[in-house]
Amino acid sequence: MLLALDVGNTNTVLGLFEDDQLIYKWRIKTDREKTEDEYVILISSLLKNRGIKLEVVSDIIISSVVPPLMYALEMMAKKYFAVDPIIVGEYPIDKYLKMKYPNPKELGADRIVNAVGAIKEYGSPLIIIDFGTATTYCYIDETAAYVGGAITPGIKISVDALYDRAAKLPRVEVEETDKVIGASTIEAIKSGVFFGFVGQVDAVIRQIKEESGQQPKVIATGGTAELIGDQSEEIEVIDMALTLKGLAEIYNIVK
């Protein structure tokens, strides 16, 4: 079986594939201080909870935007699984993704993996929005080539900044609300953040469509994709396993 790991700044998503089918998916908090021994204990527990032994993992692929964690994860793969993991970024990008972006080395591994997975699943042209620590927008043109995109602060860090910088405002959990006019400070923050991000997302998507002159399919993924996607007028598909699918496709290409 293939174990895929997508390491983000806030969360790490793990997926277990059997014959190209995603059979289990987990989301854990990214911890930059964990050692290879601690990670294997955690992964072993996740597998055991599903009745799966560690030994069934025959291959590992890793995508990471957190460089300090790579040593521990690579050591874990070699020490406990006896495999050399495939690391996204160690192979020429054009091996698995056509590129019109001027400097591909600037692209985060997550954006590359999402693009590969989305093209395989949905064709092109595409707009891919990933709601993570940052919210990223990627445009794939009609030739299935990566062109570029936009990056904005994510919902959580925006709310955290509001709490940190405004002494009298409380920290809140962002959730869907049915009205903009809040009857309390907490309701006002929740509605402002929620509708503000929905509006931002739709505005960025419309601008990408206008600049590209295309009508791309719009795919959303990441932690708050379902929260924002349900109210967005532009998001067409919410695919919470998109990055894992992209990792599995890259594995099939480079292996």
Q: Which residues are catalytic?
A: 110
77: left (phi over 0), alpha (psi -120 to 50) or beta: alpha
Residue identified by tokens 């609300």 is 177
Give the helix/strand (H/E) hosting 217.
Answer: strand 217-222
Residue type, 171: R
CB 137 within 8 A of CB 149: yes
155-165 helix and 185-212 helix, angle to the nearest 10 degrees: 140
176: left (phi over 0), alpha (psi -120 to 50) or beta: beta
Nearest by Cα to 61 from 23, 89, 36? 89
Instruction: Specify the length of the chain in residues.
Output: 255
Give the helix/strand (H/E) hosting 38.
Answer: helix 36-49
